[in-house]
């Protein structure tokens, strides 16, 4: 943590130093022009930033310690591989997940599953609990949808993934699904993150629509710290000013995450662009962005 | 819904018209230059947009029906007033809510409550369940925090508000609090919205950090449609590129919400700016932005 | 143009229709629920939107005509190729442009140029007029920089590109450079766009840091409409809330531009990410995003 | 400047320290966990950040020196007042500027000027050179527009302001206008900033649509450093994801600018919202945001 003070009085500096000492934090002072910079070493949780930012004479507090630990590349140098049946995330293969937005009926899912399997997909997706912007939209078949998904997965031999949206149904969903999905809107639903951490099923953690890379990795940290190390990250587009595309697919995070973290990352070009025309090119681009980083 | 087709073939137009007819939607065609515009009247849920956008020849689909109904100004012309004990939201008075971020102890809360009451606050806030970016941060005193909050509220005569973060604890929180807060990160936690809709306590619905006005009103719609009409909206800053402030307080939504909806709206200048220096001026600006719209 | 009126009176509708007639615009009315939708066919410039949006009873005006014409794919179906000496943009090859941020000296540029040529670059870049955020930063060698750039280009056989920043120096820069660059900050410097339109040198038009795709293509339209068809677009990252990267490289625009326009598009992964680690992966991703669209 | 190194080797640290020494920059090392933090005191221009960020072992470089000097509150403690005829910016009064978007004819401007003067406006605005998104839109009456503006200003006794868009016409515009406006799109047209710095007319500097507060103050610094201290800042909305309003009016910058700088700041609620309904409330909010900061 760096505390920047602008033309502070000696008493203001003393008060900051005293508060740091009181909290057991070691600090060094540097003076430069009218500014005094206090560099704090060791553990400095983000909450402290606000505490010190409020003190007289303090201009700005910059938190510099990496807040994620278990999810960081420093913690584990080699790439983590997450295995769902015989599909591996974080290895050389490119495991394509496909399927309908929502499970609507056995026939619909069966037909789709057969088609996507033939096209090369390695995992089947389909929503049973749908987080819809409108309460008047179809909210999913719920348990019936889970049963259909499970059945079609077994019939086609594809592992299945579906979204969890409520702490109360995590266990139920985990009984039917091979992998649990945390959707973008729930990326910081911490109660839900803690709950999936206690289930022995791999988790696909989608990036929130306006989540920074740091917030995203902190959400992964919740799951790992809670006991579940099988986390796969999924970039699915962020919200920007551009309206031609539904979201702005932020492919730079592919090499960035691989630098900062050992967790595998995949990309969702459908939600990420919202335009069928762009899905093909952006899927290829996603592979290219990560290709050189894949562990051989 | 408006479907824009770019230099379509007759067969492409016929397919779109047939699909509309099949779904019972009435439509009119307009031709202009190489474009064919199909205007669809009546109920056209947003899901349809994606369906038609995928069809050959379709360039873009624009959804124009207002998706919120119960929350809209058309549905109710007069301002809704939400009453929490003797504090009224949506009337002439300006009810200030104040209190610490988290309930830490009885002494801390008692002292703060006394101070904010003397300063004019009409409601006491304090977190018992804290949605923290980091799993290593203090997560709140939970039920003990609720008990302290309840006790201090009764002693000072201030109604109390606290955040709910999990469907499983909504009932518990409602036993202790006079008003329930849905935080920005849970604005689209639809399971939670449905749960607070069934509780007979007023709800303060904070705007998500990247939520559009429409998404925000749709979240309110979830609560109202579920049976709870006592919803107060709270602008608390949106995420932008600017880093000097923690968030960008979007005060334009005060008159905008008052135009689009009958629900009361308040502003959180603390989270909205993240700088103590800016809280005073922005609180005044918030009042000024809404002043002329208040029902006399 | 679509004019949406919310529960309008007959007189309000009449006034809108009269104003449209007065401006020679043909319009159709559609009623649906409480709304009246007026669809306007033919030419409807964007200025009109504001005009009608102000009228009583009007809720919203949506402009639906594609505002760019000469830059659009409808205007020219085949890909435009821009040739700079023996380097072709918009063909199968991938022409890499490389070089230092600023021309600092003959030795510096000569050394860099030799190195990038050996590494496969097909064009040399180097700034002589530098648009700097701070007036205290080095502003470029100006004409001396142009002379060095020109000389080194001739010696190495690489065509050269440099930025123009002022209408008064366009002609001078065009005497030394093989291609002119319009930087992100000047993408909507319309006086400059008009000036480069009159020069017989190809133009590289960088996307503004918060420019929509439409605004970007409109900037290209200025140059083409002014008489210069040799325009190459360059995506260089947009401004978002993410701070790990300097900008958010928006690769989706590669296939999107190829769909909307006939102009060639290239990508700048250095400015687009601001991190040397990400340049390699994102360069590959850029190629992959455009690969399937290249004209064979 | 703070250089953060992540688990660096001794040789990597030595190379960074050597490069700093070579550039005459004093630096201190702090070690904490696996990280080495190098704090650099004294003058450290932003260009250096990129230089060091590229070095092996360096994770991130944070620039902490305030880059604006002449525009900063440290440089001048008291509020600057800018006087245009008998209208003062930065004093107690609230000088309202009003007028049409573009000067279209003598009659149009004369009529508008009379109306806005009666309504209390203190300055007349009107565009003669219009920066239009489309080359097919009306580009302004140019010199004829300036003449009309000048004449109507003299007749009504209102000082006049108009936009400059080209370095070549700054002198011409300055002959007719009492105040020069730099529009949002040209906020970082540095050639233009340098040119208006040499004219003895006050300048209204609009914030770029995605400009940070720092970039905005740096643009002001260009004008002051060039010799013209009469700079008034104008917030006019930033670009965000919200589409209900044309821009997001960022009123927090009013108290923020008053804290960071001695320059006067005004607000443009028309462009800032793009909705006539919101102009009144946001104008009041703007005054309230700045009220307590005005020098008495």
Query: Would you call C206 helix, strand, or coil by DSSP?
Result: strand
Answer yes or no: do C62 and B2 touch at CB < 8 A.
yes
Whether residue A95 is contained in a domain is answered as: yes
On whether both A260 and A167 belong to a single domain, the answer is yes
Whether residue D52 is contained in a domain is answered as: yes
Mutant choice from D51, D60, D136 vs C, greatest count of C C-beta within 10 A:
D136
Please give the DSSP secondary-structure letter assigned to residue A39: E
Examine the pLDDT at A294 and tell me if it is beyond 60.
no
**Nearest to residue A70, comparing CAs of A211, A192, A182, A226?**
A226
Which of D:74-133 have CB within 8 Å of B?
none
Reported ipTM: the value is 0.89
Answer yes or no: do C189 and D189 touch at CB < 8 A.
yes
Please, which pLDDT band fits residue A29 given cuts at 50, 70 and 90? confident
Determine contact, residues C31/C91, Cβ cutoff 8 Å.
no
pLDDT (average), residues D238-254? 93
Determine contact, residues C277/A259, Cβ cutoff 8 Å.
yes
Examine the pLDDT at B296 and tell me if it is beyond 70.
no
| Alpha-carbon torsion angle C16, C20, C21, C25, nearest 10 | -150
Whether residue C167 is contained in a domain is answered as: yes
On whether both B127 and B248 belong to a single domain, the answer is yes
On whether both B140 and B45 belong to a single domain, the answer is no
User: Which positions in chain C touch B2 (Cβ < 8 Å)?
Assistant: 2, 39, 62, 64
Q: How far apart are CA A156 and CA A271, in angstroms?
A: 25
> In Å, how far are B153, B169, B195, C122 from B147, measured between CA atoms?
10, 14, 21, 71
Rounded (5°) CA angle C283-C288-C294: 115
Query: Would you call C10 helix, strand, or coil by DSSP?
Result: helix
- Would you state the pLDDT for residue B193? 98
Q: How far apart are CA B202 and CA B224, in angstroms?
A: 11
Determine contact, residues A203/A223, Cβ cutoff 8 Å.
yes
On whether both B169 and B26 belong to a single domain, the answer is no
B195 HSE (CA, 13 A, CB side): 25
**Nearest to residue B56, comparing CAs of B4, B1, B12, B10?**
B12
Q: How far apart are CA D245 and CA D238, in angstroms?
A: 11
Mutant choice from B43, B191, B219, B223 vs A, greatest count of A C-beta within 10 A:
B191
Residues in chain A: 296
User: Where does chain A have alpha helices with state H?
Assistant: 10-22, 46-53, 106-118, 143-156, 170-176, 190-197, 213-225, 253-260, 269-273, 276-291
On whether both C251 and C160 belong to a single domain, the answer is yes
Examine the pLDDT at A295 and tell me if it is beyond 60.
no
Whether residue D195 is contained in a domain is answered as: yes
**Residues spanned by the domain of A21:** 2-62
> Quick one: tokens of C156?
């190495």
- Would you state the pLDDT for residue D296? 31
Nearest CA in chain C to A288: C285
User: Which positions in chain C touch B62 (Cβ < 8 Å)?
Assistant: 2, 62, 64
Please give the DSSP secondary-structure letter assigned to residue B226: T
Longest dimension (CA), chain A: 76
Q: How far apart are CA A77 and CA A98, in angstroms?
A: 31
Whether residue A71 is contained in a domain is answered as: no
Answer yes or no: do D239 and C185 touch at CB < 8 A.
no
pLDDT (average), residues B123-145? 93
Burial environment of residue C6 by CB neighbours within 10 A (0 to 12, 13 to 18, 19 or more):
middle
- Would you state the pLDDT for residue C296? 31
On whether both C139 and C172 belong to a single domain, the answer is yes
On whether both A132 and A195 belong to a single domain, the answer is yes
Whether residue C76 is contained in a domain is answered as: no
Please, which pLDDT band fits residue A221 given cuts at 50, 70 and 90? very high
- Would you state the pLDDT for residue A292? 40
Strand-pair partners of C240: none
Examine the pLDDT at B218 and tell me if it is beyond 80.
yes
Q: C157: alpha, beta or left, given left = phi > 0 and alpha = psi -120 to 50?
A: left
Answer yes or no: do C281 and A287 touch at CB < 8 A.
no
Q: How far apart are CA A36 and CA A251, in angstroms?
A: 39
On whether both C86 and C56 belong to a single domain, the answer is no
**Is the pLDDT higher at D42 or at C295?**
D42
Q: Which residues of B124-141 are buried (b: 16+ CB within 10 A; e: fewer)?
A: bbbbbbbbbbbbbbebbb
Examine the pLDDT at B293 and tell me if it is beyond 50.
no
**Nearest to residue D226, comparing CAs of D191, D174, D272?**
D191
Q: List, for residues D19-35, the tens digit of each pLDDT value.
A: 998 888 888 887 766 77
The total domain count for chain C is 2
- Would you state the pLDDT for residue A42? 64
CA D226 from chain center: how many Å?
15
Of A7, A42, A64, the CB nearest to D4: A64
The reply to whether B41 touches chain C by the CB within 8 Å rule is yes
User: Where does chain C have alpha helices with state H?
Assistant: 10-22, 46-53, 106-118, 143-156, 170-176, 190-197, 213-225, 253-260, 269-273, 276-291
What CATH number does the domain containing D45 carry? 3.30.70.1140
Examine the pLDDT at B183 and tell me if it is beyond 80.
yes
pLDDT (average), residues A61-72? 81
Q: Which residues contact D26 (CB under 8 A, 6 or more apart)?
A: D20, D40, D41, D42
Q: Which residues of A120-146 are buried (b: 16+ CB within 10 A; e: fewer)?
A: ebbbbbbbbbbbbbbbbbebbbeeebb
> What does each of the 296 residues of chain C score in pLDDT, given as a tens digit?
888 888 889 999 999 999 998 888 888 887 766 778 888 876 666 667 778 888 888 888 877 666 788 999 988 999 999 999 999 999 988 999 999 999 999 999 999 999 999 999 999 999 999 999 889 888 999 999 999 999 999 999 999 999 999 999 999 999 999 999 999 999 999 999 999 999 989 999 999 999 999 999 999 999 999 999 999 999 999 999 988 888 999 999 999 999 999 999 999 999 999 888 899 999 999 999 985 333 33
Query: Would you call C166 helix, strand, or coil by DSSP?
Result: coil
- Would you state the pLDDT for residue C292? 39
> In Å, how far are B83, D130, D280 from B291, measured between CA atoms?
19, 35, 11
Whether residue C104 is contained in a domain is answered as: yes
Please, which pLDDT band fits residue B48 given cuts at 50, 70 and 90? confident
Taken in order D110, D186, D66, A4, the sign of the CA dihedral is positive
On whether both D129 and D33 belong to a single domain, the answer is no
Which of D62, D97, D114 is where one domain is finished? D62
Nearest CA in chain B to C210: B241
Answer yes or no: do C62 and B65 touch at CB < 8 A.
no
On whether both C12 and C107 belong to a single domain, the answer is no
On whether both A36 and A116 belong to a single domain, the answer is no
User: Which positions in chain A touch D35 (Cβ < 8 Å)?
Assistant: 64-65
Nearest 5°: phi and psi at A246?
A: -70, -40
On whether both A265 and A179 belong to a single domain, the answer is yes
Whether residue C67 is contained in a domain is answered as: no
What CATH number does the domain containing C258 carry? 3.20.20.70
Q: How far apart are CA D43 and CA B130, in angstroms?
A: 42
């Amino acid at each position: 943590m760096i505390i920047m003070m602008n033309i502070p009085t000696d008493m203001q500096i003393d008060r900051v130093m005293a508060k740091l000492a009181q909290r057991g934090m070691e600090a060094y002072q540097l003076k430069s022009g009218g500014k005094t910079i206090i560099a704090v070493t060791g553990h400095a949780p983000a909450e402290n930033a606000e505490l010190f930012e409020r003190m007289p004479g303090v201009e700005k507090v910059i938190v510099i310690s990496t807040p994620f630990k278990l999810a960081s590349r420093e913690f584990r140098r080699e790439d983590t591989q997450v295995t769902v049946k015989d599909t591996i995330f974080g290895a050389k293969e490119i495991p394509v997940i496909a399927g309908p937005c929502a499970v609507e009926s056995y026939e619909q899912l069966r037909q789709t599953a057969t088609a996507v399997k033939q096209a090369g997909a390695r995992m089947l997706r389909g929503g049973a609990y749908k987080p819809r912007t409108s309460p008047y939209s179809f909210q999913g078949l719920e348990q019936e949808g889970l049963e259909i998904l499970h059945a079609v997965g077994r019939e086609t031999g594809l592992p299945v993934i579906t979204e969890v949206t409520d702490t109360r149904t995590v266990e139920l969903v985990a009984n039917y699904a091979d992998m649990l999905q945390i959707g973008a809107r729930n990326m910081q639903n911490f109660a839900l993150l803690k709950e999936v951490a206690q289930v022995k099923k791999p988790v696909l953690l989608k990036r929130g629509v306006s989540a920074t890379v740091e917030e995203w990795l902190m959400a992964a940290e919740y799951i790992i710290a809670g006991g579940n190390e099988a986390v796969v990250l999924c970039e699915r587009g962020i919200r920007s000013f551009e309206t031609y595309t539904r979201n702005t697919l932020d492919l730079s995070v592919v090499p960035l995450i691989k630098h900062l973290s050992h967790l595998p990352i995949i990309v969702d070009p459908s939600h990420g662009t919202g335009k069928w025309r762009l899905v093909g090119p952006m899927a290829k681009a996603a592979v290219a962005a990560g290709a050189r980083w894949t562990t051989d």
